Chains A and B, each alone.
Chain A
Amino acid sequence: MSQEYTLSSTATADTSANAPLLQIRDLEVGFKTQRGLVPAVRGVDLTLHAGQTLAIVGESGSGKSTTAQAIINLLPGAGQVTGGQILFEGKDLTKLSSAAMQDVRGREIGYVPQDPMSNLNPVWSIGFQVEEAIKANGIAQGRDARKRTIEVLKEAGLSDAEDRLKQFPHQFSGGMRQRVLIGIGLSSRPKLLIADEPTSALDVTVQRTILDHLETLTRDYGTSVLFITHDLGLAVERAEQLVVMYKGKVVEAGPSAEILANPLHPYTQRLVAAAPSLASRRIQSARRPETTDQLDISSVGSADDRLIARADARESGTHQDLIQVTNVSKVYNIRKGGFKTDQLKAVDDVSFAIPKGTTMALVGESGSGKSTVAKLVLQLESITSGSITFDNRDVAGLRGKELLNFRRRVQPVFQDPYGSLDPMYSVGKTIAEPLVAHGVGDRASRQARVRELLDQVALPASTVNRYPNELSGGQRQRIAIARALALKPDVIVLDEAVSALDVLVQGQILNLITDLQAELGLTYLFITHDLAVVRLVADSVCVMQKGRIVESASTDDVFDNPREAYTQKLLEAIPGAHFQFGR
């Protein structure tokens, strides 16, 4: 890219007094593989001024994290900077020796990694790890280091810091661990903090408090922040400047509110159109014979027609509760050293019903018991009390043939598209597995059905011989959906089925399941932590908290008039909840 641009929000030109803190010029990063050097970042320019916050957004594989890692020279083994400059306060970081770079890292540029679960060493106490960072950066030594450690943890928002010094990472929740990592990142008052998806692994409400806290700290210290994120809402809410990356290149850059209200590059337009927000409406089936995988989230015009049609269908008497969950509880016995056991009530007196042909969303944060409900409905765990009926038959205690029959009609799609497919099975074998297990058809008819299913989930027939490790997360999830559809079930339980996917792919999969619902009359139990997605697919919503359902209503009621404080808090915590995306 030859065009020079500035992200300065002020109109003043670059004077020496107002030189940018970080300036990346034409950066190129490649990864060495057996097939030669594969470029990951291809000519990226960006400028960040002191005190500013900038977000790089993009899907996985866009090069956003690689760019951040290149700045602090933390590229994974095979990666190397192959061209361009990274000017930090005027000095080129790509030219520094590793010893000189070590001084910059931590002391001048702080880093908050993505996964708070794996980025603290489980065998050392929290205090030791914070102190280590403080000593390594030469901020304080000896007794002062200990004092500073306590200060850092206090700043990070741990009020009882002295007591917590001796605790170990497993005694901290995900949010608290991320606070510690932010504390370490900011401990030496760096001029720049790089936060690589700092809250992606956390619940929305925790995410909100962490980001609020981070904002306060960096504002107080005058630290510039470089966010790496896939979440447009988070970017517009937390960063004044935005850089959109796609396939290793910058496709659009500028003030974030302006870009997201008025996206000009087709890729940004796509991203903005697919970003679920509170303003979204339910997707309607857009399946036409010639366009099978069109992204149709943006067209909201005929939503009312669809709602009227749905209401008509309901009144015409076809409405019937296919699944009824009544006063269901699930208690786990947890071993607590020796012979003592503790009881954990994972699901507490939960009741709901799903009418045939509709989607009910079960929403909650981690530990709310929503996935346990999925397991209970799927008969993967037995219920402690209460009853679950499917098609007016009690499913508890189904055995042998009856259980097999139930499994044939109620199929699951799980969260992790990397884990739910056997890596040793080809795609064709995976999709045919339920047919084989239930003894449906012969070899030839099964093969025909597999091809038909691949077509239904919009994958080419040539995928049959491929293995899961060759496919992307979205493609794997399509395979999982095809496998679930193989036996022509009535109900599909989607347990966080789109949570691990990039927003565009997520949009595609949501379209797909909506189309399949219209085409095959499927009933969905849609389990998710993401309220914004719920609005796109669900007819009714149950909000779970600590094993109980706290609110249960139609989707529009929950979003427009949430009754419970907890629901309101969840809605408020969605990043960029009130931002009007340009569509």
Chain B
Amino acid sequence: MPSNTAPSAGHYVADLEETPVGAIDQVDSSQKARSTWSDAWDSMRGRPLFWISAVLIVIIVAVAAFPNLFSHTDPARGCLLPDSNGGPEAGHIFGFTRQGCDVYARVVYGAQASLTVGLLATVIATLVGLVIGALSGYYGGAFDAIASRIGDIFLAIPTVLGAIVLMSVLPVRDPWTVALVLSVFAWPQVARITRGAVLSARNADYVTASIALGVSRFRILVRHVVPNAIAPVIVVATTSLGTFIVAEATLSFLGIGLPPSVMSWGNDIGQARVSVATAPMVLFYPAAALSLTVLSFLMLGDVVRDALDPKARARR
């Protein structure tokens, strides 16, 4: 113990009352427990952009699921040629197409096909890419070499060009086949990102610790590596949903996506093209709906990326 001799002139000691000494390394239980996901949620919750995009997406999904709630006009029937390219009137606020169909009703009913293709393509591409990317990143070796080269081949083909060729061979053209064709060219990107994230998570200390604890290799992949590598994949999935909707519209516009019998924004834009000079609004409305939808998903992707960015996460 130190002696109680008085300090020399230059020796300053703070007032004990002002600087009380606390317990060493005590757990701060003042705040509630936070996981990575609840942290991400807290970060998203505070951003207006998240709420704007979320509300828009909820509305778009509701329109796609229950179009009859949003439009009393059945767009498939009641197209009267006298109304061709007619302007807005009571009950038909967006006016009429060249065929005399109600533009508002077509935009509302077109949401379903566009969104279905976007969601399906996202789910398929993400699942396939995630599994292949995770396996090749984690196990490496021959599987990695082969899977990565196959992925490179698909990445080298321009999506629209490849999709045109594939779509023209397929006997059926419906939202499922369009989504499948789009995911054929999209999974390698997801696989690449997953592979990279898995490669860095694989070498983390907690993985070594789990091996030494006796956890099996596959269990480590599923329980530790993939959950820690999933954040960038979610971000890519959210943003790519928008691009899939655009891709569907592109294909339908070119006449090789969804058949004309299926109402979709791409088809409507394609059909409106011929009368764009005389009735530009017929083109404008489906195009605006498409842009708004894509924008909503891109904004959400942006917010999700910020929330899941490990650098933005607090490390105390």
Stretch at the interface among A117-125, A457-465, A540-548: A457-465
From known contacts A474-B25, A505-B25, A508-B25, infer whether A255 and B213 are also in contact, taking CB-CB under 8 Å.
no
In the complex, chain B residues whose CB is within 8 Å of the CB of A6: 10
In the complex, chain B residues whose CB is within 8 Å of the CB of A421: 206, 209
In residues 149-170 of chain A, which contact B (Cβ within 8 Å)? none
Stretch at the interface among A334-342, A351-359, A411-419: A411-419
In the complex, chain B residues whose CB is within 8 Å of the CB of A467: 33-36
Complex Cα distance A321/B198, Å?
40
Asked whether A249 lies within 8 Å of B18 as measured between CB atoms, the reply is yes
Stretch at the interface among B1-9, B90-98, B150-158, B160-168: B1-9
> Which residue of chain A is the closest to B212 with respect to CB atoms?
A412
In the complex, chain A residues whose CB is within 8 Å of the CB of B69: none
Instruction: Quote the shortest CB–CB distance from A1 to chain B (angstroms).
Output: 7
From known contacts A469-B314, A472-B316, A508-B24, infer whether A252 and B12 are also in contact, taking CB-CB under 8 Å.
yes
B interface footprint on A12-33 (CB within 8 Å = 1, 0 otherwise): 0000000000000000000000
Asked whether A433 lies within 8 Å of B14 as measured between CB atoms, the reply is no
Asked whether B33 lies within 8 Å of A426 as measured between CB atoms, the reply is yes
In residues 393-421 of chain A, which contact B (Cβ within 8 Å)? 403-404, 407-408, 411-412, 414, 416, 418-421
Complex Cα distance A251/B31, Å?
28
In the complex, chain A residues whose CB is within 8 Å of the CB of B5: 262
Complex Cα distance A469/B33, Å?
10
Q: Is B288 an interface residue (CB 8 A)?
A: no
Instruction: Quote the shortest CB–CB distance from A50 to chain B (angstroms).
Output: 17
Complex Cα distance A412/B207, Å?
12
> Which residue of chain A is the closest to B11 with respect to CB atoms?
A254
Asked whether A270 lies within 8 Å of B19 as measured between CB atoms, the reply is no
In the complex, chain B residues whose CB is within 8 Å of the CB of A263: 2
> Which residue of chain A is the closest to B38 with respect to CB atoms?
A467
Q: Is B219 an interface residue (CB 8 A)?
A: yes
From known contacts A433-B215, A475-B27, infer whether A419 and B205 are also in contact, taking CB-CB under 8 Å.
yes
In residues 13-47 of chain B, which contact A (Cβ within 8 Å)? 13-14, 16, 18-19, 21-22, 24-25, 27-29, 31, 33-36, 39, 46
Pick the contact of A475 from B1, B19, B25, B33 — CB < 8 Å?
B25
In the complex, chain B residues whose CB is within 8 Å of the CB of A504: 24-25
Instruction: Quote the shortest CB–CB distance from B230 to chain A (angstroms).
Output: 9
Asked whether A250 lies within 8 Å of B25 as measured between CB atoms, the reply is no
Pick the contact of B224 from A411, A418, A422, A466 — CB < 8 Å?
A422
From known contacts A249-B14, A254-B12, A466-B33, infer whether A264 and B7 are also in contact, taking CB-CB under 8 Å.
yes
Complex Cα distance A420/B313, Å?
18
Instruction: Quote the shortest CB–CB distance from B111 to chain A (angstroms).
Output: 36
From known contacts A265-B19, A508-B24, infer whether A423 and B213 are also in contact, taking CB-CB under 8 Å.
no
Total A residues in contact with B, Cβ cutoff 8 Å: 75
Q: Is A266 an interface residue (CB 8 A)?
A: yes
Complex Cα distance A355/B75, Å?
86
B interface footprint on A244-269 (CB within 8 Å = 1, 0 otherwise): 00110111111100110011111101
Q: Is B55 an interface residue (CB 8 A)?
A: no
Asked whether A264 lies within 8 Å of B211 as measured between CB atoms, the reply is no
Q: Is A11 an interface residue (CB 8 A)?
A: yes
Asked whether B35 lies within 8 Å of A295 as measured between CB atoms, the reply is no
From known contacts A266-B21, A380-B212, A418-B315, infer whether A424 and B16 are also in contact, taking CB-CB under 8 Å.
no
Q: Is A533 an interface residue (CB 8 A)?
A: no
Instruction: Quote the shortest CB–CB distance from B117 to chain A (angstroms).
Output: 32
In residues 174-228 of chain B, which contact A (Cβ within 8 Å)? 204-206, 208-216, 219, 224, 227-228
B interface footprint on A119-158 (CB within 8 Å = 1, 0 otherwise): 0000000000000000000000000000000000000000
In residues 231-254 of chain A, which contact B (Cβ within 8 Å)? 246-247, 249-254
Pick the contact of B208 from A34, A380, A403, A487 — CB < 8 Å?
A380
Asked whether A419 lies within 8 Å of B11 as measured between CB atoms, the reply is no
Asked whether A11 lies within 8 Å of B9 as measured between CB atoms, the reply is yes
B interface footprint on A313-340 (CB within 8 Å = 1, 0 otherwise): 0000000000000000000000000000
> Which residue of chain A is the closest to B216 with respect to CB atoms?
A437
Which of B12, B33, B214 lies at the interface centre, i.e. has the most chain A CB atoms within 10 A of its CB? Answer: B12
> Which residue of chain A is the closest to B213 with respect to CB atoms?
A434
Complex Cα distance A416/B29, Å?
23
Asked whether A253 lies within 8 Å of B12 as measured between CB atoms, the reply is yes
In residues 48-76 of chain B, which contact A (Cβ within 8 Å)? none
> Which residue of chain A is the closest to B208 with respect to CB atoms?
A380
Asked whether A433 lies within 8 Å of B213 as measured between CB atoms, the reply is yes
Pick the contact of B27 from A252, A379, A460 — CB < 8 Å?
A460
B interface footprint on A454-490 (CB within 8 Å = 1, 0 otherwise): 0000011011011101111011000010010001000
In the complex, chain B residues whose CB is within 8 Å of the CB of A378: 212
Q: Is A438 an interface residue (CB 8 A)?
A: yes
> Which residue of chain A is the closest to B228 with respect to CB atoms?
A424
In the complex, chain A residues whose CB is within 8 Å of the CB of B35: 424, 426, 467
Asked whether A3 lies within 8 Å of B12 as measured between CB atoms, the reply is yes
In the complex, chain B residues whose CB is within 8 Å of the CB of A254: 7-8, 10-12
From known contacts A433-B210, A505-B25, infer whether A424 and B316 are also in contact, taking CB-CB under 8 Å.
no
Complex Cα distance A407/B22, Å?
39
Complex Cα distance A5/B25, Å?
31
Asked whether B27 lies within 8 Å of A582 as measured between CB atoms, the reply is no
Instruction: Quote the shortest CB–CB distance from A475 to chain B (angstroms).
Output: 6
Complex Cα distance A266/B12, Å?
13
Instruction: Quote the shortest CB–CB distance from B5 to chain A (angstroms).
Output: 7
> A251-B19, A262-B3, A266-B21 are known contacts; what are 9 more A-B pairs with Cβ within 8 Å?
A250-B12, A254-B12, A255-B8, A255-B11, A264-B13, A265-B13, A379-B212, A424-B36, A470-B33
Q: Which residues of B contact A (CB under 8 A)?
A: 1-3, 5, 7-14, 16, 18-19, 21-22, 24-25, 27-29, 31, 33-36, 39, 46, 204-206, 208-216, 219, 224, 227-228, 313-316
Q: Which 6 A-B pairs have the closest CB atoms?
A: A254-B11, A419-B205, A407-B214, A5-B12, A420-B205, A437-B215
Please name 22 pairs of A and B residues whose Cβ atoms are closer than 8 Å in the assembled complex, sorted by A. Answer: A1-B14, A3-B12, A252-B11, A253-B11, A253-B12, A254-B8, A263-B2, A265-B16, A266-B16, A380-B208, A380-B212, A411-B212, A411-B213, A412-B213, A414-B208, A423-B228, A426-B35, A437-B214, A437-B215, A437-B219, A465-B33, A582-B3
